[in-house]
């Protein structure tokens, strides 16, 4: 049933093909990384004709499994120079799976100056001109596409940043209300989409059908157990639903691991003003939406709809990393300003983490004062205008640091660190250093054990045990991403053994396999080995698996700690 859709932008040919043997049994991150590793020259220009952009639902896509509709986007990153997978919620993952497509591969160089849209439907796909969408943000792009194709579709698109080929550009996906608020944000894959001349993809789910199941009864039983685990765990049933991911602001502030003013402190005096509890209160007062799912089948519902003081829509609930990047990290304590910036980032199509970190570095370099919300909003607007300064900021944190002569630049492999200081949350510091993806918390969320005490408890302030912890989380995450499940299911599967077994049982019931839990973990290891091999062939070595040296020298208040995990421990992470 499942096929690969291959789109050659050089001659605009579109064809379906059978899944090659080497890609069988892979989904989501597994198949995006496998295709990139096998078909892309590791040393190529990420924005040139030899790179490819791959979209893929997970192994459980197209089923009734809770939270199984994620979509992975993969390619060589123009930000890191290495392999990249960045996944997203929204409707596209389920639609693609129900259309029987295991992956879309965009390849080749388009005709100069031309933009296209790809329409994907049941058993057919076509490329059409999209020059009328040139220069539009994601909101206006989707509005025009809805006028043309109706409101029963799903859409992926790039904003101005993707058209400008900026390394912090994201790929936007529409949610259930057709807002372009779910993003494959990290690594600049929106720029790769722009380099292929593709402004938008339209997913037409009509005629699609649920993925076939080898054992429907066994799948139904396992899916019920899995959903039960999500409903019983306090994080997935209560905490995230009521306060969003922004619940972490107060938690990390209390732990002394909330990076503040460009990673100069671990606590922010204005944390309470931007925390999830305040977000919940403001949303209730303004009659916004609490407990909103970004995709069909979501039972966690960690998102919401944020309204302005006038009751008008501004954005979806800003995620924790977004609130942190533009809040504590920039010294800003105004949720309304942060939500407006989030809206602009979604519209222009830029990673809120990367550009927020770039802004904090620019503030340290004297471009603005920390806490200048109005100035930050004005500068973000320049990204959409394509001014030189806007392009610098959307080229990422490392570039911004070089332009403004800043010594303290929190990046690994050219990608900015997210919202956990590695000195006070050392397990995630190991992940930042060693993941093939560049500094990325989602690649191995050791915060769960370091801070939230989920899946056990590892003291976040000591070096011992952090490498093994990060390894376990990186393996588990690669497996979850390949299954197409939302990363937040990890809270339940870590604490409820039967919920984890239910994931394996669902995969077995769908495909007729006889996997054990070890086999599921082996898939995660396989994906990581593929990614590491690509990066090594691209020229990466042990020296790239290190944090910037200021984390090793500068003590972080309030605990006055440094990152002291040894190089030997860092180099052991992938000794499976």
Write down all domains in the chain, each with its CATH number in brackets: 3-203 (3.60.9.10), 213-243+422-576 (1.10.599.10), 258-417 (1.10.569.10)
User: Rounded to an integer, what distance in angstroms lies between the CA atom of residue 541 and that of residue 50?
Assistant: 23
Closest CA to 159 of 344, 396, 400, 325: 344
pTM of the prediction? Answer: 0.98
What would the pLDDT profile of 295-347 be if each residue is shown by its tens digit?
999 999 999 999 999 999 999 999 999 999 999 999 999 999 999 999 999 99
Taking the CA atoms of residue 97, residue 99, residue 100 and residue 104 in that order, the dihedral angle to the nearest 10 degrees is -80
DSSP letter, residue 500: H
HSE toward the beta carbon, residue 392, CA cutoff 13 A: 14
CB atoms within 10 A of CB 539: 11
* C-alpha dist (Å) from residue 515 to 183, 500, 503, 523, 566: 32, 13, 11, 10, 36
Tokens describing residue 266: 């671990």
Q: How many CB atoms lie within 10 A of CB 47?
A: 17
Q: Which residues of 349-362 are buried (b: 16+ CB within 10 A; e: fewer)?
A: bbbbbbbbbbbbbb
Q: What percent of the chain has pLDDT over 70?
A: 100
How far apart are the C-alpha atoms of 237 and 488, rounded to whole Å?
A: 11
Q: Residue 541 corresponds to which tokens in the numbers above?
A: 């070595």
pLDDT at 1 over 90: no
Strand partners, 202: 119, 155
Average pLDDT score, the chain = 97
What is the pairing mode between strands 101-107 and 3-8?
Answer: parallel
For 345, the token pair is 């980032």
3-class SS of residue 80: coil
Interaxial angle between packed helices 517-537 and 497-511, expressed in degrees from 0 to 180 and rounded to the nearest 10: 80
Predicted confidence (pLDDT) per residue in 137-163, tens digit: 999 999 999 999 999 999 999 999 999
Q: For 351-371, how does the pLDDT look when each residue is reduced to its tens digit (9 = 90+)?
A: 999 999 999 999 999 999 999
- Mean pLDDT for the stretch of residues 529-538: 98
DSSP character at residue 488: G
Distance separating alpha carbons of residues 72 and 57, to the nearest angstrom? 6
Is residue 200 predicted with pLDDT exceeding 90? yes
CB 243 within 8 A of CB 279: yes
Give pLDDT tens digits for 125-139: 999 999 999 999 999
3-state SS of the chain: helix, strand, coil percent to 5?
A: 45, 15, 40
**Residue whose C-alpha is closest to residue 24's, from 431, 557, 570, 523:** 523
**Do 425 and 445 form a contact (C-beta atoms < 8 A)?**
no
pLDDT of residue 192: 98
Q: The tokens 């931007």 sit on which residue?
A: 274
């Amino acid at each position: 049933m499942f096929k690969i859709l291959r789109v050659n932008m050089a001659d605009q040919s579109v064809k379906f093909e059978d899944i090659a043997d080497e890609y069988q049994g892979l989904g989501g991150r597994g198949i995006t990384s496998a295709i990139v590793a096998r078909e892309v020259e590791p040393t190529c220009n990420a924005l040139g004709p030899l790179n490819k952009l791959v979209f893929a639902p997970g192994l459980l896509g197209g089923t009734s499994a809770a939270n199984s509709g994620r979509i992975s986007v993969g390619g060589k990153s123009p930000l890191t120079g290495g392999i990249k997978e960045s996944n997203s919620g929204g409707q596209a993952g389920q639609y693609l799976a129900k259309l029987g497509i295991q992956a879309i591969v965009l390849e080749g160089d388009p005709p100069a100056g031309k933009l296209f849209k790809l329409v994907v439907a049941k058993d057919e796909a076509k490329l059409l001109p999209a020059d009328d969408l040139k220069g539009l943000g994601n909101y206006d792009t989707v509005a025009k596409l809805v006028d043309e194709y109706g409101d029963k579709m799903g859409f992926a698109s790039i904003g101005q940043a993707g058209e400008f080929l900026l390394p912090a550009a994201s790929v936007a996906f529409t949610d259930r209300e057709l807002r372009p608020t779910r993003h494959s944000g990290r690594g600049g894959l929106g720029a790769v989409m722009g380099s292929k001349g593709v402004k938008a993809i339209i997913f037409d789910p009509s005629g699609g059908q649920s993925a076939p199941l080898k054992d429907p009864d066994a799948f139904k039983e396992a899916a019920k157990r899995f959903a039960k685990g999500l409903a019983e765990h306090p994080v997935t049933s209560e905490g995230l639903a009521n306060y969003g991911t922004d619940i972490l602001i107060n938690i990390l502030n209390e732990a002394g691991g909330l990076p503040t003013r460009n990673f100069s402190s671990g606590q922010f005096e204005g944390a309470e003003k931007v925390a999830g509890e305040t977000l919940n209160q403001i949303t209730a007062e303004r009659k916004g939406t609490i407990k909103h799912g970004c995709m069909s089948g979501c039972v966690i519902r960690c998102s919401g709809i944020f309204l302005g003081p006038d009751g008008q829509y501004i954005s979806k609930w800003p995620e924790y990393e977004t609130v942190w990047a533009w809040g504590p990290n920039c010294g800003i304590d105004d949720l309304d300003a942060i939500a407006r910036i989030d809206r602009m980032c979604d519209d222009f199509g830029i990673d809120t983490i990367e550009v927020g970190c770039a802004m904090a570095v620019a503030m340290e370099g004297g471009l603005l004062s920390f806490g200048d919300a109005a100035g930050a909003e004005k500068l973000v607007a320049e990204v959409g205008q394509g001014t030189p300064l806007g392009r610098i900021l959307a080229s990422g944190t490392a570039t911004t640091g070089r332009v403004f002569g800043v010594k303290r630049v929190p990046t690994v492999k050219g990608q900015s660190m997210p919202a956990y200081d590695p000195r006070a949350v050392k397990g995630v510091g190991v992940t930042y250093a060693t993941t093939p993806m560049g500094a990325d918390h989602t690649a191995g969320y050791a915060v769960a054990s370091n801070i939230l005490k989920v899946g056990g408890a590892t003291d976040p302030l000591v070096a011992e045990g952090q490498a093994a912890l990060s390894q376990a989380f990186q393996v588990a995450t690669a497996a979850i991403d390949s299954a197409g499940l939302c990363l937040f299911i990890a809270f339940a599967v870590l604490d409820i053994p039967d919920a984890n077994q239910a994931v394996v049982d669902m995969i077995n019931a769908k495909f007729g396999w006889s996997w054990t839990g070890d086999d599921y973990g082996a898939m995660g290891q396989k994906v990581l080995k593929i990614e590491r091999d690509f990066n090594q062939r691209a020229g990466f070595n042990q020296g790239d698996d290190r944090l910037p040296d200021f984390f090793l020298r500068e003590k972080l208040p309030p605990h006055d700690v440094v990152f002291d995990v040894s190089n030997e421990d860092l180099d052991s992470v992938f000794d499976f």
